[in-house]
Amino acid sequence: MEKNILIVEDSPTMRSSVSFCLRNAGYRVAEAIDGKDALKKLQSMNDKSEPLSLIITDINMPQMDGITFISEVKETDFKFVPILVLTTESEESVIKKGRDAGASGWLLKPFQPEQLLWAVKKVIWTK
């Protein structure tokens, strides 16, 4: 069964890079430009009963930041979907906020494709 991943990233270049990497590895990818857009996409996926295996989100985004987005997801039907954070934020206090909100893992930008795919496989296959 194909694994579906939602990428939440405001940078078009980064969104394309992550999507390209994941699609080449055989994953189906949906994209959102910020937390608010992602919540709309999740609602649409829920309405269509589409399965979701993983969410990858940035932290610093307009309209709704990643920490708030993670907290919001944990109040939806997708609350058990693992969430990987892919960000430039390496401050321990921000990482703690992310973990407290429900993040499953934390990766720093710039990312290496092998590192991203290893983290994705680890989170998806241990579910």
Residue 2 clears pLDDT 90, i.e. is over it? no
Q: Could you report the per-residue pLDDT of 90-100, keeping only the tens digit for each?
A: 999 999 999 99
Residue 1 clears pLDDT 70, i.e. is over it? no
Q: What is the mean pLDDT of residues 61-72?
A: 95
Q: pTM of the predicted model, to two decimals? A: 0.95
Domain 4-125 fold is Rossmann fold (3.40.50)
Q: What is the mean pLDDT of residues 60-83?
A: 95
Cβ neighbour number for residue 89 with a 10 Å cutoff: 18
Distance separating alpha carbons of residues 54 and 104, to the nearest angstrom: 10
Distance separating alpha carbons of residues 67 and 125, to the nearest angstrom: 24
pLDDT more than 90, % of the chain: 93
Task: Return the amino acid letter for 97.
Answer: K
Annotated domain spans of the chain: 4-125
